Amino acid sequence: MEYKLTTRSEMDTIAFAQNLESEKFPNMVICLNGELGSGKTIFTKGFANALGIEETVTSPTFNIIKEYDGELPLYHMDVYRLDGNTEGVAIEEYFTKGGVVIIEWANTIKDILPDKRLDIKFKIAGENSRVLVITPHGKEYEELCEAVL
């Protein structure tokens, strides 16, 4: 099943992320895809804020992974620069560390993504508008979508 949501501002994207955060669970994996400037990091900032993270959240393009402490640990990844080569990065270890993993450019590492996850594709639909295509994989994620969409 696939869901579509249109956001008309950064605040709409943040509100959606905060709604998802309200249904969080340990080992949650959220995979974000979309072109530059489509809202992936804005989504992550909203989710982090709802987790009680006060640090400024920025895209971990050069770090690959940033860790934040909140109600649950947040592991924010930007795997664009890996170009599909995850050797030596140990990304899979984060999937079972009891926190929430948010991966930007997740489609570049699709071979190692867990079967159970939430995929969100961001499409630019106008200057401030975005269409989010949300695809749950697994019962927990289907229930999550039913609760917030």
- What's the confidence (pLDDT) of residue 72? 97
- What's the confidence (pLDDT) of residue 34? 97
- The most distant pair of C-alpha atoms in the chain lies apart, rounded to whole Å, by 39
Which pair of structure tokens corresponds to residue 11? 């605040």
pTM, whole model, 2 decimals? 0.95
Three-class DSSP category at 39 = coil
- What's the confidence (pLDDT) of residue 145? 95
If you average pLDDT over residues 124-133, what whole number do you get?
Answer: 96
Task: Using the Cα atoms of residue 83, residue 28, residue 133 and residue 137 in order, give the sign of their dihedral.
Answer: positive
Percent of the chain with pLDDT strictly greater than 70: 100
CA distance 43 to 65: 16
pLDDT digits (tens, 9 = 90+) for 55-112: 999 887 778 899 999 999 999 999 988 877 888 788 999 999 999 999 999 999 999 9
Mean residue pLDDT across the chain: 94
Structural domains in the chain, CATH included, are: 3-148 (3.40.50.300)
CA distance 56 to 8: 23
- What's the confidence (pLDDT) of residue 85? 80
